[in-house]
């Protein structure tokens, strides 16, 4: 509470600062939740204001894709680019072999070199795709952040050189005092588990993340690190190392952790990840995730995950409060995020899929479906079943239903169809003797979308 009051007071005094002062992002619902060193807010603001600076954020490739929980850090890098600073996105090809203990109650599973390499490739694709869409959204006037990998400087480094030169600068008392270390050691005493706690490998994570920052300060003049709120310990370790080795100051900017309405952290370990890779979470699923954001969170999400001006966000929230059933703030949020992550084409597919699945006007639905290419339809319904069938003139609805192999027998299929649970191209079909024809049952792209019940979809690819 005291820190929040100090931060707000500090920001009030510094209103005249331009957008280069990234601490002003705190006005966007606390997008900058803290800074380090804590007593140097004025100094950090002045440092940012004086000239263009270089800052970095790290992403360890512990999965094949980043997720929505990582997106806020990416937004921080992009805000820095828009403010005229230079941003570095660091992929931790080396540090992923260790595993960051921050926020974890047990040691991470070890990853093979092949897994780390594959994951690094996937994360680089995530970042490059988002950076490309970011540039297009801003008319190519803002440069994209640079992507680097810490494996590049650790791969050929001799530890006989590393520890004598840098090991002496780390203080064990400070390393043990880190929150991630203290909690794990306390667990050992509380549970009386001699095999619990933390391995030396995990304990050394802060050593290498600190060195990463030192390396970047030398090679890129990078004196600012951006990270989630749980990275305070690692940021302070890097700050101390840079100060001891070079005598220069370095600063940390901390972002809040993205949580659900109940306060649960979003991430792969928590089992609720919404991925940034289209192969793992489709544009439609990402769009729907943000459409379903509760009213209590949508203003914060708009501030954190879009570049909309604060006044525009406040006006949109007022519109949402007048007509909550229309979910206008959620629609804008979903649109902005989906375009950033999946591009204009991905957003179009997400919006068309939403219209197809949730628009109850049969004529509009069929009209939309008729405009789709085969590729668009496959992208929209990635999780649907897929079946290629040779078209037979004279086939009926019941004949097609039996070809799908979802009914026990013809009698069961007939009963299900006549009860109203069978749809073709989102139109209910209750007549088992209705003949399959092009233009109605078969779309111009030679496909049909069959729905059985509420959620079971099958795409039919007709062969002639």
pTM of the model: 0.84
Q: Is the pLDDT of residue 398 over 60?
A: yes
Give the rounded percent of residues in the chain with a pLDDT score beyond 70.
90
Residue 92 and residue 28 share a domain: yes
Residue 291 lies in a domain: yes
CA distance 414 to 140: 57
153: containing domain: 2-255
CA distance 345 to 339: 8
Q: For residue 190, what pLDDT is reported?
A: 64
pLDDT in tens, 418-446: 999 999 998 999 999 999 999 889 999 99
Residues sharing a CB contact under 8 Å with residue 385, sequence separation 6 or more, in sequence order: 456, 457, 458, 459
CA distance 324 to 295: 8
Residue 385 and residue 345 share a domain: no
Residue 48 and residue 21 share a domain: yes
Residue 391 and residue 326 share a domain: no
Into how many domains does the chain fold?
3
Q: Is the pLDDT of residue 18 over 70?
A: no
Residue 222 and residue 164 share a domain: yes
Q: For residue 15, what pLDDT is reported?
A: 34
What is 89-108 written as a DSSP string? Answer: EEE-TTGGGT---TT-SSPP
CA distance 376 to 30: 38
Q: For residue 359, what pLDDT is reported?
A: 72
332 or 204: which carries more pLDDT confidence?
332
Q: Is the pLDDT of residue 141 over 90?
A: no
Residue 50 lies in a domain: yes
Residue 429 lies in a domain: yes
Q: For residue 99, what pLDDT is reported?
A: 85
Residue 371 lies in a domain: no
Question: Residue 414 maps to which CATH number?
Answer: 3.10.290.10
Residue 123 · residue 151 · CB < 8 Å: no
Residue 51 lies in a domain: yes
Residues sharing a CB contact under 8 Å with residue 448, sequence separation 6 or more, in sequence order: 424, 425, 441, 442, 459, 460, 462
Residue 232 and residue 289 share a domain: no
pLDDT in tens, 161-186: 888 888 888 888 788 887 778 777 77
Residue with tokens 């490309």: 132
Q: For residue 196, what pLDDT is reported?
A: 63
CA distance 78 to 88: 10
Residue 384 · residue 457 · CB < 8 Å: yes
Question: Residue 294 maps to which CATH number?
Answer: 1.10.240.10
Q: Is the pLDDT of residue 241 over 60?
A: yes
Mapped onto helix, strand or coil, the DSSP state of residue 58 is strand
């Amino acid at each position: 509470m005291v820190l929040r009051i100090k931060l707000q007071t500090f920001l009030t005094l510094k209103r005249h600062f331009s957008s280069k002062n990234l601490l002003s992002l705190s006005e966007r619902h606390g997008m900058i939740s803290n800074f380090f060193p804590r007593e140097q807010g004025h100094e950090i603001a002045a440092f940012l204001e004086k000239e263009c600076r270089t800052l970095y954020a790290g992403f360890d490739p512990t999965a094949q894709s980043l997720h929505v929980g990582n997106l806020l850090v990416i937004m921080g890098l992009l805000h820095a680019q828009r403010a005229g600073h230079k941003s570095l996105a660091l992929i931790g090809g080396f540090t992923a072999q260790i595993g960051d203990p921050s926020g974890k109650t047990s040691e991470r599973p070890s990853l093979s070199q092949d897994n780390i390499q594959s994951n690094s490739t996937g994360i680089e694709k995530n970042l490059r795709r988002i950076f490309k869409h970011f540039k297009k959204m801003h008319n190519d006037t803002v440069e994209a952040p640079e992507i680097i990998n810490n494996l590049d400087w650790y791969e050929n480094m001799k530890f006989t050189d590393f520890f004598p030169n840098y090991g002496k600068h780390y203080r064990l008392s400070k390393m043990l005092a880190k929150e991630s270390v203290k909690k794990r050691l306390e667990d050992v005493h509380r549970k009386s588990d001699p095999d619990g706690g933390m391995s030396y490998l995990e304990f050394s994570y802060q050593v290498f993340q600190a060195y990463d920052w030192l390396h970047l300060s030398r090679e890129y003049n990078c004196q600012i690190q951006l990270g989630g709120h749980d990275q305070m310990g690692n940021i302070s370790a890097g700050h101390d190392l840079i100060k001891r080795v070079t005598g220069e100051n370095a600063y940390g900017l901390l972002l809040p952790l993205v949580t659900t309405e109940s306060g649960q952290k979003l991430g792969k370990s928590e089992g609720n990840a919404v991925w940034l890779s289209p192969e793992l979470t489709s544009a439609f699923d990402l769009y729907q995730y943000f459409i379903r954001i509760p009213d209590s969170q949508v203003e914060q999400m708009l501030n954190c995950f879009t570049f909309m001006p604060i006044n525009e966000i406040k006006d949109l929230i007022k519109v949402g409060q007048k007509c909550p059933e229309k979910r206008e703030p959620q629609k804008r949020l979903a649109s902005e995020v989906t375009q950033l992550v999946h591009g204009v084409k991905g957003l179009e597919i997400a919006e068309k899929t939403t219209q197809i699945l949730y628009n109850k006007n049969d004529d509009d639905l069929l009209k939309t479906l008729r405009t789709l290419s085969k590729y668009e339809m496959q992208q929209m319904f990635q999780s649907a079943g897929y079946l290629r069938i040779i078209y037979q003139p004279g086939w009926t609805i019941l004949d097609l239903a039996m070809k799908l192999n979802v009914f026990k027998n013809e009698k069961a299929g007939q009963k299900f169809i006549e009860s109203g649970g069978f749809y073709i191209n989102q139109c209910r079909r209750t007549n088992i003797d209705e003949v399959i024809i092009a233009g109605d049952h078969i779309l111009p792209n030679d496909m049909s979308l069959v729905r059985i019940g509420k959620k079971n979809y099958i795409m039919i690819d007709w062969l002639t």
